[in-house]
Amino acid sequence: MAKDLKLMKGNEAIARAMIASGCDGYFGYPITPQSEVMETLMAEKPWETTGMVVLQAESEVASINMVYGGAATGKKVATSSSSPGISLMQEGMTYLAGAEIPCVVVNVMRGGPGLGTIQPSQSDYFQSTKGGGHGDYQLYTLAPASVQEMYDFVFDAWDIAFKYRNPVLILSDGAIGQCMEKLYTRDDVPRWTEEERRANAPWATWGKPATRNHNIVTSLELDSAKQEIFNHKLQAKYAEMKEKEVRYEMLNCEDAEYIIVAYGSSSRIAMKAMQMAREKGIKVGLFRLITLFPFPTKQLAEVAAKVKGILCVEMSAGQMIEDVKLATECKVPVEHFGRFGGIIPTPGEVLKALEEKIVK
């Protein structure tokens, strides 16, 4: 239920949601443009009210391994960073996925490659959806488009993480992280009691009662045959996500002759471009991705079958467009428009690209 109406940044919303959702521990390291997450947690001092642990680790590598340790005990444990920091976490991410440990990771993207810029970007799509680390694994990936969704998706992420025993990534960017908007907060969810933790995480390493065997949390398996069986198990889990957990939003797609596909802050820009196009008599709809993995392949394919062309808008050189082309099987023209290096496109630029590349 909605609790209070507040005005805050997206990064602050993430921090407040961590506390309100019953998070047990946050381990992170400051990096622009997401440093306010930790700063807000430190200012709120949840260890005095809920008992939540907040710790600045010595590096991103240390923080993701602290997440592994804490989450392996069945606790709700999270971290956040920005693009270069998330790159440093990739070894830990694949260990978490391989050990089937639920946790929440937030990436507030900035421009790259390398250290790049501290300005917004969406160039971590491949890293997020194709598995940034080694092995056959996937992260359930949510893409918020507002401060409200930055807050709400933390609650959703815990549900998905523990339902599937899988890390969940909230993929935002510097524009939304630094954006200040109104936010409806929720009533706080109490941290799990010891009994609730054992009920929600029976696989975890929380001691050895006389009634059961040891729980072992690891991603190591030296028997190839057993490792193959385990990988089949993971693939079945990801297939279930694709079947049951796809999220998307469609605006003005019913009569659309052209579609813009976008996510995150780009979808907000695309929405305005869509409105401008309709004022000119061009029937444009918006297909907004909410989950990047699982990708709404079937749903987008159904929409694509009814239109003349699709424009993919993303602040990158073109990454999401590959999944759009796969979904549509290239049966309609699919073009890309994006700014990168930290530059945010304007609705006018999107409309111009639509007219020149798709409508013609």
Rounded to an integer, the average pLDDT of 293-311 is 97
What pLDDT score was predicted for residue 3?
A: 75
What pLDDT score was predicted for residue 131?
A: 81
Express each pLDDT in 36-74 by its tens digit: 999 999 999 999 999 999 999 999 999 999 999 999 999
Q: Sign of the CA dihedral 59, 61, 67, 72? A: negative
- What is the Cα–Cα distance from 78 to 88, expressed in whole angstroms? 16
Report yes or no: 280 and 272 within 8 Å, Cβ to Cβ: no
Q: How confident is the model at residue 218 (pLDDT cuts 50, 70, 90)?
A: very high
In the chain, what are the domain boundaries?
Answer: 5-197, 248-359
- What is the Cα–Cα distance from 323 to 293, expressed in whole angstroms? 10
Rounded to an integer, the average pLDDT of 341-358 is 96
Using a pLDDT cut of 90, give the percent of the chain over it: 94
Comparing CA positions, the residue from 288, 275, 253 lying closest to residue 354 is 275
What 3-state class would DSSP assign to 20?
Answer: helix
Residues in contact with 300: Cβ distance below 8 Å, sequence separation at least 6, in sequence order:
248, 261, 287, 324, 327, 328
What pLDDT score was predicted for residue 213?
A: 76
What pLDDT score was predicted for residue 207?
A: 76
Give me 20's structure tokens: 């309100």
Q: How confident is the model at residue 346 (pLDDT cuts 50, 70, 90)?
A: very high
pTM for this predicted structure: 0.96
What pLDDT score was predicted for residue 1?
A: 56
Express each pLDDT in 135-167 by its tens digit: 999 999 999 999 999 999 999 999 999 999 999
Fold for the domain defined by 248-359 = Rossmann fold (3.40.50)
**Domain 5-197, CATH among 3.40.50.720, 3.30.565.10, 3.40.640.10, 3.40.50.970:** 3.40.50.970
Q: Do domains 5-197 and 248-359 have the same CATH topology?
A: yes
* Mean confidence (pLDDT) of the chain: 96
Rounded to an integer, the average pLDDT of 184-208 is 92
Kindly list the distances between the CA atom of residue 17 and the CA atoms of 153, 205, 232, 275, 304, in Å, as whole numbers in the listed order. 9, 26, 34, 32, 36
Q: At what angle do helices 10-20 and 147-164 cross, to 10 degrees?
A: 40
Give me 112's structure tokens: 């790259």
